Structure 1
């Protein structure tokens, strides 16, 4: 999926009427977010691919200023269609990346997404929107309104790449999402960085007080997962546990659950 900013927010109704359509067919790979404590899959993140599984980079290279809104909308609708074959009956969340700066009114701008969910029998309460911190800091008040609206509509909300921008804690104070997703820079080599562990320990304490869950993404080695578990973080995503799977979603049997040795 793609996340990018725009100076002129447009709603989906405007996109339908005037935006250049995205010219390429899309497929999706799904990468699980696991709950290590319960040994279950918490969510599956939809990752855009080309029609034959080509890389996300090959798809994003075709995104232009004229078609990026249509691309973002098309991604969400197609990901819902693809995920409805498996995730709806398994009860797992579908994690979709979104462009918060392209939304001026959530109820209007998500109309086609809601319609796609209904048409494919995908429950609204199984959809999680990941919104990147870089998109939010340009207008935190507007972004906070979007998050509140999404939550009121029944979606799970996640602040992605948390800690990568200069307004992380300030934004958290105003937004209060359901979940924060740690930037990979905070996760990488956390087992050998006392500074990172101290920062994350304080963040865990803050989030616990407000009922906000933490996802650590980009985990590549077991030592990172062990260190994060010691800090009280149990939601993980990364190649160590499972790589993305094209056109299907990995099951719990596909996950590497071992932290022994």
Structure 2
């Protein structure tokens, strides 16, 4: 059986502190959007997305993050996501993961910054191998070696690692040349209208081929039409996320509505 909580070579810090948001000067919550295995029509993971306590957008919350509170905010997001997901019953869904976005520029030393995450997982009986951490390719990373060291530390603890918004950001394939995550999430800029765009289709097909060779799972983001859904299935993608299947929800882990995809195109 996988060891869920390794012995910690340090005094755990941060979990209780990170649950107390007074130091941030603002409060926030999380909405959860499922990522589906479209073959089984079950949730592969739920992504935790920052929202205001009254449903305000992620942008409204992120606009309050700066160099003075970036680290504390990143830590608080991890703890809140684990706490809410556990409370909402994610662990009752077999093998389903919790996906958490992290800010690479907020992580100074991976092993130090991970303490609150480990403590929160222990507090809420959350298996480490059911945590997935996504770094967005849209955030500029001036030190790729630092990001590589973060991913290596996460993998040592049994976390799943993912590159979000792949194909839209600064580094593209250079990321894959330096390190290989477990998961690539193809940005909606490439999936949007892919059914009618041979160029996008060729690019995504190439990403799928490279990922298969590197033993990386692929998730297609931003799926909004049945035509996009079936085009991506035709390219061999079985993990999808988007409004067509389910929107993010606060206070609930929603199920997917696969009646929207229509009749098979195969």
Q: TM-score range by the shorter chain?
A: 0.7 to 0.9
Provide the residue aligned with 2:252 in structure 1.
248
Report the aligned-residue RMSD: 2.1
Give SS of 1:84's match.
helix
Provide the residue aligned with 2:90 in structure 1.
87
Provide the residue aligned with 1:42 in structure 2.
44
Shift of 1:116: 0.8
- After superposition, give the CA deviation of every residue in 1:137-172 in whole Å (9 maximum; x if it has no partner): 422222112112111110000001111134211211
Provide the residue aligned with 1:221 in structure 2.
225
Provide the residue aligned with 1:4 in structure 2.
none
Provide the residue aligned with 1:9 in structure 2.
none
Provide the residue aligned with 1:75 in structure 2.
77
Runs of 4+ residues over 4 Å off in structure 1: none
Shift of 1:63: 2.7
Q: 5+ residue gaps in structure 2? A: 1-12
Which stretch of structure 1 is more off in the superposition, 225-234 or 44-53?
Answer: 44-53
Please give the alpha-carbon distance, in whole angstroms, between the structure 1 residues aligned to 2:75 and 2:225.
Answer: 35
- After superposition, give the CA deviation of every residue in 1:26-80 in whole Å (9 maximum; x if it has no partner): 2211100001012211000111122233332332333333222212211111111
Which stretch of structure 1 is more off in the superposition, 28-37 or 104-113?
Answer: 104-113
Q: Under a length normalisation based on structure 1, what TM-score does the superposition of the two structures give?
A: 0.87
Give SS of 1:219's match.
coil
Provide the residue aligned with 1:110 in structure 2.
114
Q: 5+ residue gaps in structure 1? A: 1-11
Q: Is the 8 A contact 2:192 2:223 kept in 1?
A: yes
Give SS of 2:261's match.
coil
Q: Is the 8 A contact 1:39 1:257 kept in 2?
A: no
The total of aligned residue pairs comes to 245
Please give the alpha-carbon distance, in whole angstroms, between the structure 2 residues aligned to 1:165 and 1:48.
Answer: 20
Q: CA separation of 1:166/1:245 partners in 2, compared to 1, >3 Å: closer, same or farther?
A: closer
Shift of 1:136: 6.1
Please give the alpha-carbon distance, in whole angstroms, between the structure 1 residues aligned to 2:258 and 2:85.
Answer: 22
Provide the residue aligned with 1:235 in structure 2.
239
Which stretch of structure 1 is more off in the superposition, 160-169 or 60-69?
Answer: 60-69
Q: Under a length normalisation based on structure 2, what TM-score does the superposition of the two structures give?
A: 0.85
